[in-house]
Amino acid sequence: MTAETETPSTGSCCSPTGSCHDGAAGAQIEETGSVTTVYQVKGMTCGHCEGAVSEEISAVAGVTSVAAVASTGLVTVTSDAPLAEDAVRAAVDEAGYELIGPTA
C-alpha cells in the first residue's frame, strides 16, 4: 500500500481542524421500547465522515440505529435505553470527531 492509498486510523480524513456546522436543533424522543437522541458532532464534512461516526456509535451497547448528516453535523441515534453521554463521546472521539453534545 502506498502513502496515497493509506487511510489514517484516527482523525478526520476531511477536516482535521473541525467544521463550520455549529447550528443545532433536535430533541430526545421516546418511542415504545426505544429512545431517539440527536447529537451535534463537529468535524464531519462528507459521506466518509458520516460512515466513520455511524460505525463507531453503532458499536455502543444498546444502539439500534444511527443516521449521521455531515451537512448539518447532526447524528440521530436510536437505542434500547438512554445512552451515557460518555459512551457516545468516546465513540465519536474514536472516529476522529468532536461530540458537542445532545441537541436541545
User: Dihedral (C-alpha) 84, 67, 97, 46: value to the nearest 10 degrees?
Assistant: 180
The domain segmentation of the chain, as residue ranges, is: 28-102
Mean pLDDT of 91-100: 98
| Cell numbers linked to 7 | 487511510
pTM metric for this prediction: 0.71
Helix, strand, or coil here: 24? Answer: coil
CATH of domain 28-102: 3.30.70.100
The predicted structure's pLDDT at residue 25: 40
Report whether pLDDT(2) > 50.
no
Helix, strand, or coil here: 52? Answer: helix
- Condensed to tens digits (0 to 9), the pLDDT of residues 30-62 reads 546 899 999 999 999 999 999 999 999 999 999
Number of neighbours of residue 13 by Cβ within 10 angstroms? 13
Backbone angles phi, psi at 91, to 5 degrees: -65, -45
